[in-house]
A = this chain, B = another copy of it.
Amino acid sequence: MRKVEVCFSPELIHLFDLEDKIVVVVDIFRATSTMVAALANGIESILSFADLEACRLMKEKGFLIGGERNGLTAPGFEMGNSPVAYLSGEYSGRKLAMTTTNGTQAIEKSKGAFEILIGAFPNLQATVSYIQDQNKDVLIHCAGWKGHFNLEDSLYAGALVKSLESTHESSEDGAMAMSLLFEKVGHNLKGFLSQASHAKRLQNHGIEEDIDFCLTLDLYEIVVKLDERGFLVKV
């Protein structure tokens, strides 16, 4: 049987062997949810940058630029990190360059994997089906919050571990713990996660609508992967 493991922080990713694994990067509030929303609503491709300045420069190359630090739009950027900004389809056909506090750093640190996918609740089931069609072990890489464990990324990990249980064994402790936690609170994800510390931070910025979107299951049938050029694209 294939295996699934969970890494709770980019600061622990060096402990895991990435080679020949599918790594699913998760930053529920909000980077990976926004990436999925953007690509599902017409954005052609996304380049993700760990560095703010490198991202800003992409505007000159015709990219739409999205930059967020500590939950707020970075100065001089056209887009922040809100998934709902893409839902109207008004940016359809554009390429997006994007940098965020935690999510894009986690993508950077996942390099070396067999394949990097972007995970979010709105395309959970599509991602499950895509993974199950391949004969690979899986590592779920939670972006966390500035290196810290967070509930929303870990619960996505739990949901993914549970959804993969017919094909992927979760004998690793982190995967086992989060699968059980998802069993306990998954029926009330929105109610429960509005108590999480990062959701509280975001509520202070008045973005309840974003939180609601990020916790909605299976809106889209697309899978998001990093292609050989380094672009995030839909499969």
Residue numbers of A with Cβ under 8 A of B are 6, 8-9, 11-12, 15, 145-151, 154, 171-174, 176-177, 180-181, 183-185, 195-198
Contacts and interface: CB of A to CB of B under 8 A. Distances in A.
A181 B177 contact: yes
Contacts of A196: 173, 176
Contacts of A11: 11-12, 15
Contact of A15 (B146, B154, B173): B146
Contacts of A148: 12, 15, 173-174
Nearest to A150: B173
Given A9-B12, A181-B180, A185-B180, A173 B151 contact: yes
Contacts of A151: 173, 176-177
B147 A173 contact: no
15 contacts: A6-B149, A12-B12, A12-B148, A12-B149, A15-B148, A149-B173, A149-B174, A149-B177, A151-B173, A173-B196, A173-B197, A176-B195, A180-B181, A180-B184, A183-B184
A198 B185 CA distance: 26
Contacts of A171: 197
Nearest to A197: B173
Nearest to A146: B15
A181 B178 CA distance: 9
Given A145-B173, A173-B197, 9 more contacts: A12-B12, A12-B148, A151-B177, A154-B173, A173-B196, A173-B198, A176-B195, A177-B177, A184-B184
